Amino acid sequence: MGCFCSTSKNVKTPGYEDPTILASETPFTVSEVEALYELFLKLSNSIIEDGLIHKEEFQLALFRNENEKNLFADRIFDLFDVKRNGVIEFGEFVRSLGVFHPNAALEDKIAFAFRLYDLRQTGYIEREELKEMVLALLHESDLVLSDDMIEAIVDKTFKDADTKDDGRIDQDEWKAFVSQHPSLIKNMTLPYLKDITLAFPSFIARTEVEDSE
Amino acid sequence: KPCNNLNAFDIISFSSGFDLSGLFEDT
């Protein structure tokens, strides 16, 4: 009796892209892109089995709780969702994670972090946005700071970063500020991405394309 | 406490939402 299993791993998800092309556009090898597909399949079928990562699935992976609300996780999801259609497709997932690769260009990491902090997507990090992000962090943590203290910290940060003194941080000011404070982009590097093929060895049996190096 | 040496972006980076390592756990 013939049986076609629709959940076969040979059936690619919507938005699937050729690993060879994704590898050519990112720091990943073809093998690593295939390994990331294993991870993508797991994440994208954790709640809704449609092969697309929904925000709840992203939050579930990050916090083990699909209902956890977090301003920054929301922002990262929105940046991964390049097409702005409410889901992360495989190509978007790989290209975005590529920025977090230890070998990714520093400029890309700096630019990604800027967009993360530019909450209202105006092309600038504004004082109110910065304060909003500090308040959001305090809300989710046990840190307690007085309003005066928060104001002083935001003022000091702006005084240091907003060198043009126009009340907002532009991309050039951000680059200069990061060069003085490299720790600001330490979250932009995920060491896990160097060992991705070790974490997901199951792809090896099915790999279709050899790495060029 | 020397809070005037604290950088707002460094404080923000403590957020759990910035830590993507959860994506790679339980694999």
Chain A within 8 Å of B3 (Cβ-Cβ)?
Answer: yes
Chain B residues with beta carbon closer than 8 angstroms to that of A133 = 8, 12
Residue A182 pLDDT: 93
Closest CA to A47 of A61, A37, A55, A57: A57
Higher pLDDT, A14 or A199: A14
Report pLDDT digits (tens) over A38-62.
999 999 999 999 999 999 999 999 9
Chain A within 8 Å of B24 (Cβ-Cβ)?
Answer: yes
Q: Which of B4, B15, B25 sits opposite A152 (nearest CB)?
A: B4
Tell me which residue has tokens 């399949």: A41
Contact pairs from chain A to chain B, CB under 8 Å? 98
Angle made by CA atoms A185, A189, A193, in degrees to the nearest 5 = 170
Residue A131 pLDDT: 95
Which residues of A fall below an 8 Å CB-CB distance to B? Answer: 39, 42-43, 61-64, 70-76, 100, 117, 130-131, 133-134, 136-137, 140-141, 143, 145, 149, 152-154, 156-157, 160, 181, 183-184, 186-187, 190, 192, 199-200
Q: Rounded mean pLDDT of A22-30?
A: 96
Q: Specify whether the CB–CB gap between A157 and B7 falls below 8 A.
A: yes
Both tokens assigned to A5: 């299993």
Residue A2 pLDDT: 42
Report pLDDT digits (tens) over A76-98.
999 999 999 999 999 999 999 99
Q: Specify whether the CB–CB gap between A52 and A88 falls below 8 A.
A: yes
* Averaged pLDDT of chain A: 88
Closest CA to A128 of A162, A160, A151: A151
